[in-house]
Amino acid sequence: MVKLNIVGVGPGSAEYVTPLAHRLVSEAQVIIGAKRSLDLFGGDISGKSHVLTAKNLNDLLKYAVEAAKEGKHVVVLSTGDPGFSGLLKSVLNTKLVTSDDLNVIPGVSAVQACAAKLGLCWDELCLFTFHQGNVSDVRKTELTACLKAGRSVLLFPDAKNFLPKDIATYLINSGFDPNMSVFICENLTLDNERIVKSSLMGVSTIDFAALCVMVIRVKREDDDV
């Protein structure tokens, strides 16, 4: 088979899509991605495009692998970076390919965009994703352990099962200070981008857009923010 391309398309704005991503899409015979990802490449697409949804995810990823095994140039578009809460894990979970069969093209993740907006060094943060229902007692315990250890957290909430208000309520009920600083970055890099600075208590009463990143800030003596 030829290598299956898993291409990161950035956090949302077309300005954050790399030239390499544009080139690979323009050369592809098969392009698979969510509608908002495909829309970033309208002028580049000459091959057959397929809209990826939660319902057809497994079927389309299997089709992508089969097409690559037939020698077709296939691109799977992954929002943000494929390796962090992206489609790389989903492709590998098909058990039809290994990492050796893939050409993974990194993209700007919402993690990077959020940290940049807030002026945070994200190599010092605990990173979590609760996307796609990845909400377990184990993950929640890991979250509280990071905060108790004095480390700030950057996380992707789940839009259905673990909203920012749910996370804030959970942490308050777990004994954390309701006044602990929280930042919510909504719709990063898009025209309707919004940055909200609040507290656990404040966030527990607010509804946010599905496309958001949450930072729970543990204040340290050497912090400026």
The reported pLDDT for the residue numbered 223 is 54
Mean pLDDT computed over 18-24: 98
Determine the Cα–Cα distance for residues 218 and 152; give it in Å rounded to an integer: 5
Whole-number percent of the chain with pLDDT over 70: 97
Please give the structure tokens belonging to residue 107: 């993209």
pLDDT digits (tens, 9 = 90+) for 207-219: 999 999 999 999 7
The reported pLDDT for the residue numbered 220 is 64
| Predicted TM-score of the model (pTM) | 0.91
Top CATH class of 4-108 equals alpha beta
Report how far Cα 129 is from the mean position of its chain's Cα atoms.
8
Mean pLDDT computed over 196-214: 96
Mean pLDDT computed over 11-40: 97
Determine the Cα–Cα distance for residues 113 and 138; give it in Å rounded to an integer: 27
How sure is the predictor about 134, in pLDDT bands with cuts at 50, 70 and 90?
confident
Architecture of domain 111-217: 2-Layer Sandwich (3.30)
Ranges of beta strands (E only) in the chain are 4-8, 30-33, 48-51, 74-78, 102-105, 126-129, 153-156, 181-186, 194-199, 212-217
The domains of the chain are located at: 4-108, 111-217
pLDDT digits (tens, 9 = 90+) for 75-110: 999 999 999 999 999 999 999 999 999 999 999 999
